[in-house]
């Protein structure tokens, strides 16, 4: 009896070698469609198109190719059930022993910054998951390979197990297949929940599935006594899993947390070169300048003590001048969207610093998740750019153009500081940051103490409103000239009155950015 294998892959890695071996060594007849059939034909491997086999043409621009009874009957037929074999014979169908399918790259598609909703929808695979699930269901008789990494093991099975994989191997492949389709469907569901074309105010679903594939077993977690692992979502690496580690040791649990904090902050800035330095997930120095070197110098100068052992994120490709500065202090990690060869050579003098190239630092998780006892919390991402055109100047004093730019800058930073959060800034440079205090007055005092005399003429941003005049008065006494805050307190007028009496500018954003 002819042994049939159906091959339909988006990822063509190892496809030609597998197909050649199936035909030459094990006598398989190959069925395929679309680009996979073209790839096999170009390699002079005999292949029958699915449309020729089923006598049904591909339709709807390729949306319907393998959805046919002759295909699914061949996959789902139970070889030990006479009724199933009789059905196959009556319909002139042949059993299909091997299904090699991987899916349209949906996760990679939606990871692109410029992907449209329509393009994302067209990259939802329908026939592929159906084939995989059918073969996995009938794993007692059929082998399903859903990842190129399985090809070598399958061929070894054929060579060592009497030309037919063992039941244990087929079960393992079925388990991997169902995990693959479950993860694929989850990625689609999550995307549709957060896509730009959907209603941002719609509630999250009643059921939410979270799954991941292990990327790396970590040496330990936050502390040496805690076991930890890094999981990625999606079969195609994206985000940090897709970043290129140019040098340095493997990333740690704490590195990854700090890197994500740095990425999410530097993603706020695109117009000008910007440097972010993070320590324990809080920024300690942020600056924007005309050159990347100047931006890093100013971010480092904002808090050179805390910068020691920090995480640096830059929004421009790293040049040699800036990399030379980076080697002058101890840093844990540096992440950049690109790295010039001279900069790579410069950083090699500090082999312990982890240097990552992540081409797109703007894409974050669409649905941030945190675990709690007995479950987890999910919320929509808060990565929308500030909308200064909707801000409200509530004082008699009006901001100068320079103050307005500093207010926008400080507001972008404060949303990434742990609550209660205060940022003092001037000339697009942070001067003092108060983070994670139990009361807002404490954060104000810390930020102003860090800024010291440099607070003269600076602006101050607060992630929450000022319900009392005390913080306004403290800021004015230190030399602050403008404040940006959400507003919304029942006692807003008290803060506004204090600002007016002291000649300060106060701006309400009407949007809060708590970060717990």
The residues that are catalytic are 137, 280
What is residue 378's three-state secondary structure? Answer: strand
| CA neighbor of 431 nearest in space, from 479, 465, 389, 365 | 479
What is residue 292's three-state secondary structure? Answer: helix
Give counts: helices (H), strands (E), the chain: 19, 21
Q: Is the dihedral of CA 226, 254, 217, 362 positive or negative?
A: positive
Q: Give the tokens for residue 261.
A: 């904090």
What is residue 176's three-state secondary structure? Answer: helix
| Spatial separation of the C-alpha atoms in residues 417 and 515, rounded to whole Å | 7
> Which residues on adjacent β-strands are paired with residue 282?
279
Long-range pairs for 235-241: beta carbons < 8 A, 24 or more residues apart: 235/102, 235/103, 235/107, 235/147, 235/180, 235/183, 235/184, 236/105, 236/107, 236/108, 236/111, 238/107, 238/108, 238/111, 238/363, 239/111, 239/358, 239/363, 239/364, 239/365, 240/356, 240/358, 241/215
| Spatial separation of the C-alpha atoms in residues 325 and 7, rounded to whole Å | 53
| CA neighbor of 205 nearest in space, from 365, 322, 59, 378 | 378
The contacts of residue 282 (CB under 8 Å, 6+ apart) are 261, 416, 417, 418, 433, 435, 436
Do you know the residue count of the chain? 516
Instruction: For 4-47, give the DSSP string.
Output: EEEEE-SS-TTHHHHHHHHHHHH-EEEEE-HHHHHHHHHTT---
| Spatial separation of the C-alpha atoms in residues 227 and 225, rounded to whole Å | 7
Distance of CA 391 to the CA centre of its chain: 30
């Amino acid at each position: 009896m002819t042994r049939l294998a159906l091959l339909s892959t988006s990822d063509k890695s190892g496809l030609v070698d597998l197909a050649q071996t199936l035909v030459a060594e094990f006598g398989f007849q190959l069925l395929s469609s679309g680009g996979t059939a073209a790839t096999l034909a170009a390699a002079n491997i005999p292949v029958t198109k699915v449309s020729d086999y089923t006598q049904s043409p591909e339709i709807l621009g390729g949306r319907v190719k393998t959805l046919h009874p002759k295909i699914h009957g061949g996959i789902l037929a139970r070889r030990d059930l006479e009724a199933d074999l009789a059905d196959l014979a009556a319909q002139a169908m042949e059993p299909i022993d091997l299904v090699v399918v991987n899916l349209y790259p949906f996760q990679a598609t939606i990871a692109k910054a410029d992907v449209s909703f329509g393009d994302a929808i067209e990259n939802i695979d329908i026939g592929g998951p159906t084939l995989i699930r059918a073969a996995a269901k009938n794993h007692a008789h059929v082998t399903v390979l859903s990842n190129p990494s399985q090809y070598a093991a399958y061929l070894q099975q054929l060579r060592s197990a009497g030309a037919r994989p063992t039941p244990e191997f087929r079960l393992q492949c079925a388990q991997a297949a169902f995990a693959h389709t479950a993860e694929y469907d989850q990625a689609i569901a999550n995307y549709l929940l957060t896509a730009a074309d959907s209603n941002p105010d719609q509630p999250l679903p009643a059921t939410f599935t979270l799954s991941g594939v292990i990327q790396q077993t970590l040496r330990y977690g936050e502390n040496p006594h805690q076991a930890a692992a890094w999981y990625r979502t999606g079969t195609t690496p994206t985000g940090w899993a897709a970043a290129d580690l140019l040098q340095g040791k493997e990333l740690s649990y704490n590195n990854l947390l700090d890197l994500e904090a740095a990425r999410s902050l530097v993603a706020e800035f695109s117009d000008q070169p910007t440097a972010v330095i993070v320590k324990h997930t809080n920024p300690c120095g942020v600056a924007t300048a005309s050159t990347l070197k100047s931006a890093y110098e100013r971010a480092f100068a904002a808090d050179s003590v805390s910068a020691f052992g920090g995480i640096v994120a830059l929004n421009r490709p790293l040049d040699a001048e800036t990399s030379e500065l980076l080697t002058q202090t101890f840093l844990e990690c540096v992440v950049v969207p690109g790295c010039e060869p001279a900069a790579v050579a410069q950083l090699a003098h500090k082999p312990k610093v982890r240097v990552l190239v992540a081409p797109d630092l703007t894409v974050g998780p669409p649905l941030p998740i945190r675990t709690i006892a007995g479950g987890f919390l999910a919320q929509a991402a808060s990565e929308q750019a500030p909308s200064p055109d909707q801000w409200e100047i509530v004082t008699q004093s009006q901001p100068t153009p320079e103050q307005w730019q500093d207010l926008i800058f400080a507001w972008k930073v404060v949303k990434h500081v742990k609550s209660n959060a205060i940022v003092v800034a001037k000339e697009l440079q942070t001067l003092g940051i108060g983070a994670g205090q139990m009361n807002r007055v404490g954060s104000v005092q810390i930020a102003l103490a860090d800024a010291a005399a440099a607070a003269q003429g600076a602006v101050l941003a607060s992630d929450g409103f000022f319900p009392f005049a005390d913080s306004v008065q403290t800021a004015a006494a230190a030399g602050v000239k403008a404040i940006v805050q959400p507003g919304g307190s029942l006692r807003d007028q008290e803060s506004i009155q204090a600002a007016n009496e002291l000649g300060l500018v106060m701006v309400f954003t009407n949007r809060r950015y708590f970060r717990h």
